[in-house]
Amino acid sequence: MNLTIENILLVGSLLLFISIIVGKTSYRFGVPTLLLFLAIGMLAGSDGIGGIRFDDPKLAQFIGIVSLNFILFSGGLDTSFKAVKPILREGLMLSTLGVLLTAVSLGTFVWFVTDFTIYESMLLGSIVSSTDAAAVFSILRSKNLALKNNLRPTLELESGSNDPMAYVLTLAFLTLVINQDLSVWSIIPLFFQQMIVGGIAGFAFGKLSKIIINKIKLGFEGLYPVLVIALMFITFSATDFVGGNGFLAIYICSVYLGNQDLIHKSTILKMFDGIAWLMQIVLFLTLGLLVFPSQIIPYMGIGLLISIFLIVVARPLSVFISLMFFKMKLRRRFYISWVGLRGAVPIVFATYPLLAGIEKANMIFNIVFFISVTSVLIQGTTLSIFAKWLNVALPEEVKPITENDRYILNLPKSAMEEITIPARSFAVDKRIIDLHFPKSAFIVMIKRNGKFVRPGGSTIIEVDDTLVLLLDNEDSLGEVNEILSNTTIA
């Protein structure tokens, strides 16, 4: 079947519908939903029963980049800096040195067991060197897995921030494969440029985005998520245009925004959570359509050998070396080693050699695809089992709840209070967003002139307003009173 303008919406919506229905029941059998999305795409493709002819790596790469923008941004918004701060150094070591060590060790192994050149081997190692954010976020959250000792923030920080390093390494070694006369030292300036510019741009766009979101008056709540999408793509494309790493920029930008007071933050978080799931499904379906299963079969043997080495040797080696200077129990290191999931990101990165037209591009793509499938199948299905074996899992009843969980789930507080605003209060003529209330206090209603006003971040507080508050505890009330009692100068 050829995809046309007339049938693409029908075919696409049917595949999406089937993926959602199948994904709903998949965990009864312990199969990650992402793997099923991939399988549905393969069944619908040229070698499958659907017979859909899709062989456009450039379009697949574009869909992949757009999808990764949403997945990384959503993951960043849901990252609590309070939870990440204690393990920030560990996470950054895993996402930089850990990725480099994985790429080098796996690349060296590939060089020994195949006829690849050293640069081609390092290119393959670089493509699969990072843990996949889509796979980690999706599997950890859909399994609702609660882990001890900041393990989950460590894993999510690593998976969300290590794609930039793998991307830079992939571009660097691809350049060396194409230009054999260049030395490996020539790629070092590219690395520093990508990471430094990307980091600075991400923080700068984060601060700018916060000002734009909170200052602009759109009039409709539904437009604020659209505004954030625009800011997300501006951050990525502008950073890439000036030579920085766009993936790093949008992740830093989203982490910053996720830990700030934003107007209609609940709406923004809910929208991005839904779109991230949509992008994961679309991404895996697209990559499933792109691959030809018949072309993978000849590489299954070498693919399985490389995949086992990656899971059993390269990943644990990189984790233990990266974390050797940190105090951490052995079982935590083993679990971090096991959660080295490869998913859609390596497959997207594997389209770069295809588009560059290098000699072994097709072989690299098929091996990478096989590695990603085996990783999700072997590691993704055993995360809960290994967590219990290594005694790093928490009972569900003591699972911590993040502040963004409160925004998304609208969780109730434990106490209710009413506070009337006097004329000299600091809050008079200020927007709720500008009061910087503690996260443990929430304004649910405002009584004004005998009527009830539904509060939003842009709602302006007036004299004699009565704020109806939901609070976690009495300490929260004390913080609120301290803010409101800060009187203005007459």
Q: Is the dihedral of CA 133, 139, 143, 146 positive or negative?
A: negative
Give residue-wise pLDDT tens across range 397-417.
Answer: 444 555 555 444 444 455 677
When pLDDT is averaged across residues 44-73 and rounded to a whole number, the result is: 82
Residue 124, pLDDT > 90, answer yes
When pLDDT is averaged across residues 82-90 and rounded to a whole number, the result is: 84
From the options 1.20.810.10, 3.40.50.880, 1.10.260.40, 1.20.1530.20, give the CATH code of 8-398.
1.20.1530.20
pLDDT of 147 reads: 72
Residue 111, pLDDT > 90, answer yes
331-346 burial, b at 16+ Cβ within 10 Å, e below that, comes to bbbbbbbbbbbbbbbb
Which ranges in the chain are annotated with CATH 1.20.1530.20?
A: 8-398
pLDDT of 372 reads: 87
Query: Among 38-47, 87-96, 369-378, where is mean pLDDT lowest?
Result: 38-47
Q: Greater confidence, 412 or 40? A: 40
pLDDT of 304 reads: 93
Gyration radius from the chain CA atoms: 24
Give residue-wise pLDDT tens across range 441-477.
Answer: 777 788 888 788 877 777 888 888 888 877 766 667 7
pLDDT of 315 reads: 94
Q: Greater confidence, 489 or 419? A: 419
pLDDT of 397 reads: 47
Helix, strand, coil percent content, the chain, rounded in steps of 5: 65, 5, 30
- What's the pLDDT band for 119 if we cut at 50, 70, 90? very high
- Rounded distance between C-alpha atoms, residue 438 and residue 477, angstroms: 9
CATH topology of domain 412-484: Alpha-Beta Plaits (3.30.70)
When pLDDT is averaged across residues 94-110 and rounded to a whole number, the result is: 93
Give residue-wise pLDDT tens across range 352-381.
Answer: 998 988 888 999 999 998 998 888 888 877
When pLDDT is averaged across residues 208-226 and rounded to a whole number, the result is: 87
Nearest 5°: phi and psi at 103? -60, -45
- What's the pLDDT band for 237 if we cut at 50, 70, 90? very high
- What's the pLDDT band for 139 if we cut at 50, 70, 90? low
- What's the pLDDT band for 140 if we cut at 50, 70, 90? low
pLDDT of 24 reads: 60
Query: Among 67-76, 167-176, 410-419, 433-442, where is mean pLDDT lowest?
Result: 410-419
Burial class of residue 112, CB neighbours in 10 A (0-12, 13-18, 19+): exposed
465, two tokens: 């307003």
- Rounded distance between C-alpha atoms, residue 359 and residue 8, angstroms: 33
* Mean pLDDT score of the chain: 81
Which ranges in the chain are annotated with CATH 3.30.70.1450?
A: 412-484
| pTM of the complete model | 0.78
